[in-house]
Every structure is written in structure tokens, then in C-alpha cells.
Structure 1
Amino acid sequence: MADATVTIPTTATIATTGHCTGIVLAAGRGRRFDPSGLQDKLLQILPLGEHSQHSQHIAVQSAQRMAAVLPTTLVVVHPDALRLMTVLHEAGCVTSCCADAAAGMGHTLAHAVRTCASASGWIIALADMPHVKSSTIAALDAAIRDGADIAVPVYLGQRGNPVGFSRQHRDALLRIRGDRGARDIVRMSLVTEVEVDDPGILIDIDTPEDLLQFA
């Protein structure tokens, strides 16, 4: 099936039980941020924005915005990222190490789904996208619980991240390998587009200059 879509607004009814499990992928090396590998971009501090009360690490803000909506949220990290794990734990986040993280995002994603394979669905986010609103995550969660197979957020006509997957795609997610992530699953599936007022779904942090966005 070639990329069929259904569009729904963010006013979808939010149930009180059966939430998806949140997965935050934080196992990349971030070489574009610092080719030397000395600086972990996920440990960089975000500038204090207009609506922020305190500054925060990139990965921590990404994880906490997910955890604010989803009772179960897992952050997947590289086994060598000891400082990142410490910072996440100090912030109250739950982490899991993916031994095969160096083989690509697909391995990390499959590891995450395997770790919480009994979930009713998954909202999969990238740790370097800390500006995604919790309301967007809630809308994706609602879409999956309302019967969507896959839910993607759309801002001003552009699809972004995170992406929600129903349990129907568990086996396919577990088979992912390499660097492509879940793009092929999305491309071949019925997708529900969730319209959001959230430019953060399009903004990731790849370079030091990107830190200034939303400052």
C-alpha cells in the first residue's frame, strides 16, 4: 500500500487508559555536532527560551516532554554513554542500553520495542528534537488508541517526528536493522496524519547553531 493518509485534528478524544509506551532514541554519536566526538550533543544545555522556567539538557527535555504524557517512557542509549545515562537517571528517566547501537538506528529501535514488547503501541521520538510539545505526543497517543495503525504529526503541511505505531507493527519493528529506521514501514502502511500547531516536530539539533532555535 503506497502511503495512504487520513488526516485528523488534535482535538481527538483522549482516553484515560491504554496509553502507548514512549521510546526516545538517544544512542547516536552526533558527529555532525562535533566531528571530534568530544562533545555529546545530547548533553548540551538548551538556551532558556521564552516559555521555559529553567535550562535543560537536550536529551532530558526530549524525554521529559514524552514522560509528561505517557506513563511508560524508555530512553535508549549507547552503552558507552555513561555521562548521558547519569544525567538522565538524575532527571528521573528510565534508560536501556543497546549493545548494537553502533550498527544503526534500526538496531536501536528494534531493541527498544523488544524491551517493551507487551505495549499496546509505541510513540517513537528522537532525543535531538527537544522542542516537540507534549500536546503533540498526546495527540499521537490518542490517534493510536482511537484505531490508527501509524500516526504522524503534520505542521503546515509537513510531516515530522515523533511517530506513533500500533501493536500491529510490532513484528515489523522488531525486524528493523541498519540506519533506515522505520521509514519503510511508514511508506508501506496506512498513515493517519495528525495536524498540530507545533513547529518543533520539524526541528532537530545537528549543529551548535541549531541550539539557538527557540531560544
Structure 2
Amino acid sequence: MTGTGAPVAAIVLAAGSSSRTAPAHKLLAPDAMGLPMIARTLRAVTASQATPVIVVLGHRAAEIREAALAGTATGHPVQFVTAPDYAAGLSRTLSVGIEAASQHDVAGALICLGDMPLIGTGLINDMIAGFASHPTYPGAMPVHDGRRGNPVLWARALFPALMQLAGDRGARDLLRLHGPEMLRIPAGPEIAQDFDTPARLAEFARLFAGG
């Protein structure tokens, strides 16, 4: 819960075609325990204080949905929505997720990327707690060694602007505008570590051997 009494949603973006790892789809790639990447990402998100958790689907939606459910924490429902124009770019996928979050009584939304499975529950909760203490901020971002990364938490006041974005730039333009005013949350190097090339998928296949 935030200082406004409303929770923060988590939006997991999982609609892309994963063209850089074709023919393999990165979100379906298994780790050392056989858990698909999207499920590993969802395991941390659904164990956090974020609610609701919304997953935006697009390319190979049915397969991604089935894989995602393998990582859902017990008793934590996940809302799946589909971005019909996901091929138009990340911004349209984000817009669909924000629109879904706006239907709930939330103070903001944490935007998570499906191919960043190293983001832990602790960081997610730290970001939500930090924003709860500063509810008038435009949002919160994790920072490591002076550099920002993902996920990014946006206050509800910016939902309309987020839904108007276009192209494949995500919210970069809004970050440039509002970034200086956003709360900084100390984090580790995982905030800049995604898995979107064949070499990185090979690395992911060796991770999480302990469970």
C-alpha cells in the first residue's frame, strides 16, 4: 500500500516477437531448473506487494500465457491482457498495460520487462515502499553505480501520458522529462541485465540451478 492507501500495480511486458533470438523465443527459454524465463520473472513479481499483476501478451500469446502461469505465486492471481498492435512497438504494449491498470484503484504502476528475470522481489518491494513514502513524486527508478535501470514505477497521474505513447521507444521521452524528479532506489547490477540474444540465452540456461 502507498501513502494514498492504494496499491501499486505491476505490469509485465511480454508481447514482443523476440526477433533477436529467433527461432527461439527468449521468454520461453528455460533456466537450469527448466523454468521458462517469463515464469521466472513472474515468480518474483507475484511474490511481491504489487497488486494487481498484469501481463501484456502479443506474439505467441497462448504459449507465453501458459509458460507464465508456471511461475505464479500460490494465491496471487494474474490478469492477462493482449496488445493487438504489439508489432507497432513497445509503447503500444505499454499503453495496453497502463489502460488495464487504470481500471483498478491503484496509486501507480511498476513496469517490468519479461526478459529481466534477475529482478528480485526485494527490489520490487523497496520501490513500492519508497514510493509509498513519497506519493507526490512522479515515480521511482532503481539506480546502480549512478545509472538508472528497470523496472520503473510511474505514478497514476502520468497514466494518460503513458497511454498516448507511440513507437518502439517505450517511455524514454517521459523519463527524460520526469526522471530528474523521480525517487532513486539503490539497486544492484541486475537492473541493467536482460536476456535478448542467443549468447545471453545460453547464460540464462545455466542460472537458478539451486531452485
Shorter-chain TM-score range: 0.7 to 0.9
1:68 corresponds in structure 2 to 47
Q: 2:57 aligns with which of 59, 77, 88?
A: 77
Instruction: Report whether the alignment pairs 1:132 with 2:123.
Output: no
TM-score normalised according to structure 2 size:
0.84
Q: Distance in 1 between matches of 2:186 and 2:170?
A: 23
Q: Distance in 2 between matches of 1:107 and 1:59?
A: 20
Q: 2:144 aligns with which of 139, 155, 159?
A: 155
SS at match of 1:71: coil
1:178 corresponds in structure 2 to 167
SS at match of 1:188: helix
Q: Distance in 1 between matches of 2:141 and 2:45?
A: 15
Q: 1:192 aligns with which of 180, 183, 194?
A: 183
1:21 corresponds in structure 2 to 9
Instruction: Report whether the alignment pairs 1:168 with 2:157.
Output: yes
Instruction: Report whether the alignment pairs 1:58 with 2:37.
Output: yes
Given that 2:2 and 2:107 are in contact with CA atoms closer than 8 Å, whether structure 1 keeps it comes out as: no
1:8 corresponds in structure 2 to none
2:197 corresponds in structure 1 to 207
Q: CA deviation at 1:137?
A: 0.7
The C-alpha deviation readout for 1:150-200, integer Å capped at 9, x for no partner, is 21101222211000001111111111111111111111012211112x221
Given that 1:89 and 1:95 are in contact with CA atoms closer than 8 Å, whether structure 2 keeps it comes out as: no
Higher helix share: 2
Instruction: Report whether the alignment pairs 1:144 with 2:131.
Output: yes
Q: Distance in 1 between matches of 2:44 and 2:51?
A: 11
TM-score normalised according to structure 1 size:
0.82
Q: 1:123 aligns with which of 110, 122, 125?
A: 110
Q: Distance in 2 between matches of 1:58 and 1:140?
A: 22
Given that 1:79 and 1:99 are in contact with CA atoms closer than 8 Å, whether structure 2 keeps it comes out as: no
Q: Distance in 2 between matches of 1:63 and 1:95?
A: 12
Given that 1:25 and 1:126 are in contact with CA atoms closer than 8 Å, whether structure 2 keeps it comes out as: yes
Identity across matched positions, percent: 29
Give aligned pairs, total.
193
Question: Where does the alignment leave 5 or more consecutive residues of structure 1 unmatched?
Answer: 1-12, 48-53
The C-alpha deviation readout for 1:42-61, integer Å capped at 9, x for no partner, is 000023xxxxxx44211111
1:102 corresponds in structure 2 to 87
Amino acid at match of 1:163: V
Q: Distance in 2 between matches of 1:14 and 1:188?
A: 24
Given that 1:30 and 1:206 are in contact with CA atoms closer than 8 Å, whether structure 2 keeps it comes out as: yes
SS at match of 2:20: coil
SS at match of 1:131: coil
Amino acid at match of 2:7: H
Q: 1:114 to 1:210 in 2, by over 3 A?
A: same
Q: CA deviation at 1:87?
A: 1.9
Q: 1:143 to 1:149 in 2, by over 3 A?
A: farther
Given that 2:39 and 2:70 are in contact with CA atoms closer than 8 Å, whether structure 1 keeps it comes out as: no
